Amino acid sequence: MYDIFVLYQRPEDQEDFDKHYRTVHAPLVEAMPLVREFTWGPVAGAGDGTPYLVARMTYATQDDAEQSLSSPEGQAAVADLESFAGAGVLILNSVRTSTWQR
């Protein structure tokens, strides 16, 4: 499995950020091909210096992630970051080497 984590920094206008993320950005990500799972939510107990929101996209392989991001839908989602994520984002790519579940 291959995960992409996106850590969004705290926006000045949280209400506008939340509305845009929920109504515009999340649907763009959901339209991306090859995404096996997409989860997102606010960081619990977040304060100054900590991310505001974290999103995770899971793919079967790194190649699937690369294809997804280079698709028209992926390009639209990436381009949309400029519309609402002006406080900054940190993107982490992770090859999942182990999974543990109960």
pLDDT value at residue 51? 93
Read off the amino acid at residue 84: F
Question: CA–CA separation, 69 vs 102, rounded Å?
Answer: 32
Tell me the residue length of the chain: 102
Q: Give the tens place of pLDDT for each residue, 90-102.
A: 999 999 888 787 8
pLDDT value at residue 64? 98
Task: Annotate the chain with three-state secondary structure.
Answer: CEEEEEEECCCCCHHHHHHHHHHHHHHHHHCCCCCCEEEEEECCCCCCCCCCEEEEEEECCHHHHHHHHHCHHHHHHHHHHHHHCCCCEEEEEEECCCCCCC
Whether the per-residue pLDDT at 50 is higher than 90: the answer is no
pLDDT value at residue 75? 98
- Average pLDDT in the chain: 94
- At residue 46 the predicted structure's pLDDT band, cuts being 50, 70 and 90, is low
Q: Give the tens place of pLDDT for each residue, 54-98.
A: 999 999 999 999 999 999 999 999 999 999 999 999 999 999 888
Retrieve residue 26's tokens: 């999340």
Retrieve residue 5's tokens: 């984590």
